[in-house]
Amino acid sequence: MTFSPTAESLLYPYGIDQGDTKNPKSDDGTSPEISISVPFTFYGKGYRSLYVNNNGVVSFGVNVSQYTPDPFPLDGGCPFVAPYWGDVDNRWGGDIFWRQTQDPAVLSRCSADINEYFPGIPFTAIWAFIATWDRVAYFGTASKKVNTFQAVLITNGDIAFIELNYADIQWTTGRASGGDAKTGLGGTPAQAGFDSGDKINYYNIPSSRTPDVLNIGGTTNVGKPGRWVFQVDEFVAPVTTESIDCLL
């Protein structure tokens, strides 16, 4: 399929027609190691490869098959970005797409976003990586509930950002994580945020691993419900808590 965003949509375009690669249909699966053309700096370390893991994680250095999320910081030291870490099983529905891009139109949109949210940092993107979980089901599903969300990594070769975008979140938990097969709720709900692996630089999006993560599409740290943005080459605290949840 191809996704063309409307004016209201926060997701960047994705799909085969956009030149994306698609992960295999697999429980707890992952992409192969993906070499990236521009190093991505994540808290002082430059990475030249990454993995897109079916369970809602983009990781550096090692793939991630764990399906029940732990809170950040993790003990294992694996650096990763988690738009929605939960027990995805796309054998029962949905696809995971990814691509790296230097397309001028995409980079122009990336630059505009970052300059809007971080006006004190003149920024021109030279590379982006877009990973999208499109209408993915959960392990043990006995329903038609699916989730759509996205992680976008953006850099100018020095300064680096991540965007986490949420289009439609209908479930929080797979059955193996204690969730109800008919509702996709209960048990240990999904985790969202990022972890640099150093036990110092990490962030748990509020409501992670609670039932309220179902409503993550209504939360933000940049004034746009459904989007969280972080500078990740060095730690920059999110915007004040007044903008965390636009539903309050």
Q: What element of type H or E holds 42?
A: strand 34-42
Indicate the pTM of the whole model: 0.92
Tell me what pLDDT residue 235 has: 59
Which domain does 118 fall in, by range?
Answer: 7-243
- Mean pLDDT, the chain, rounded, equals 91
pLDDT at 239 over 80: no
Percent with pLDDT over 70 in the chain: 91
Could you tell me the pLDDT band of residue 9, with boundaries at 50, 70 and 90?
Answer: confident
Return d(Cα 56, Cα 65) in angstroms, integer: 10
pLDDT of 70 strictly over 50 = yes
Number of domains in the chain: 1
What CA–CA distance (Å, rounded) separates 180 from 176? 9
Specify if 2 maps to a domain: no
Q: For the segment 95-130, what is each residue's pLDDT rounded down to a tens digit?
A: 999 999 999 999 999 999 999 999 999 999 999 999
Whether 213 is in a domain gets the answer yes
Separation in Å, CA 22 to CA 81, 114, 179: 19, 27, 27
Q: What amino acid is encoded at 99 in this protein?
A: R
More confident residue, 53 or 7: 53
Write the pLDDT tens digit of every residue in 122-176. Answer: 999 999 999 999 999 999 999 999 999 999 999 999 999 999 999 999 999 999 9
In-domain check, residue 215: yes
Is residue 123 included in any domain, yes or no? yes
Residue 151, domain member (yes or no): yes
Query: Does residue 49 contact residue 59 with C-beta atoms inside 8 Å?
Result: no
Q: State both tokens at 127.
A: 């590379």
Measure the CA dihedral 29/91/213/59, to 10°: 20
